[in-house]
Structure 1
Amino acid sequence: MAEDFNTRVIREFRENEGRVGPPFEGAPMILVHHRGRRSGEERVTPLVFQPVGDAFAVFASAAGAPEQPAWYLNLVAAPETTVEVGAEHRGAQVRVGVRDLTGEERDRVWEEQKRRAPGFADYEEKAAPRQIPVVLLEPR
């Protein structure tokens, strides 16, 4: 059976101290653990992040899909979880609280992400009129 995309990214992340190949090569990556809000099943989702102080901002872009990604809805339902971060954090698992950013705080982080990774502007255009949530994962 062929390895699915997320499973491959997770495997590469864990084998290479948080580094992965294309299409995310060179991007800061984080593995976000979350529990299915209906199934209760433990899940792991690889995401690009932006450091914000000691916290990690992640983006519920779903590559510009019109609906919110399941991982985001799961985190909203259970706003504390664990993340795995790469070599700069020594492969640590970090307990985090989850906070949706709003207003100017959200806009500042979102605009910086589009500057760092212009593909996020494409996701924003494709997702419209859905506003892409910006989520801050704050170490506890």
Structure 2
Amino acid sequence: MAQHHPLFVQLVKAATAAHVTLYRLMRGALPHPFLGRHCILLTTTGRRSGKKRVTPLLFVRDGGDYVVVGSWGGSDTPPHWYRNLRADPRVIVEDHGYVTSAVAIEVDDPEEYERLWQRLVAIYPTYESYRRRTTRRLPIVRLSPVGVAPTGKERRI
């Protein structure tokens, strides 16, 4: 059972905060050190705190949707962002300066899951080692834009 050391978690938090700042300043033009240019920022609402939480995530597009996976490096514990969106599926997606509200929908259909899994692994093969490392099923989530950002319309920042 894979678990993350507390020091690792603190380092990830610090690196995430730095990346979010740079991503927003450069509108995603600076590639993420691990995710490259296939990176969005996902804002969820903390399930206990109610605070907005921002996480950089690898994604693929499927139609008009963004597709992400809750891998947390193969940990047996799901990532916080995933637990947050299970409590409140209304999210914000930032994609290279474009911001939109979206609804998170977990992929349950086995055929759709496998098709999307193959697309995700194609751009980040390490997902396969994450899947082997954990006992849980890594959730795949569709982020379906609803066309309304917090300001009342889709917008670029």
Output the CA distance in 2 between the equivalents of 1:46 and 1:125: 23
SS of residue paired to 1:4? helix
After superposition, the CA RMSD in angstroms is 1.7
Runs of 4+ in 1 over 3 A off after TM superposition: 19-22
2:24 paired residue among 11, 14, 22: 14
Q: Does 1:42 align with 2:49?
A: no
- Counting aligned pairs with the same residue, the percent is 32
Q: Who is 2:149 aligned against?
A: none
TM value normalised by structure 1: 0.88
Output the CA distance in 1 between the equivalents of 2:145 and 2:32: 28
Note closer, same or farther for the CA distance 1:107–1:58 as it changes in structure 2 (3 Å cut).
same
Structure 1 residue 25 displacement after superposition: 5.5
Output the CA distance in 2 between the equivalents of 1:9 and 1:131: 27
Output the CA distance in 1 between the equivalents of 2:35 and 2:41: 15
Output the CA distance in 2 between the equivalents of 1:50 and 1:118: 13
Q: Who is 1:83 aligned against?
A: 93
Note closer, same or farther for the CA distance 1:45–1:22 as it changes in structure 2 (3 Å cut).
closer
Q: Which amino acid aligns with 2:71?
A: S
Q: How many residues align?
A: 134
TM value normalised by structure 2: 0.79
Segments of structure 2 that go 5 or more residues without pairing to the other structure are: 1-10, 147-157
Note closer, same or farther for the CA distance 1:25–1:12 as it changes in structure 2 (3 Å cut).
farther
Q: Which amino acid aligns with 2:125?
A: P
Q: Who is 1:107 aligned against?
A: 114
Segments of structure 1 that go 5 or more residues without pairing to the other structure are: none
1:118 paired residue among 102, 105, 125: 125
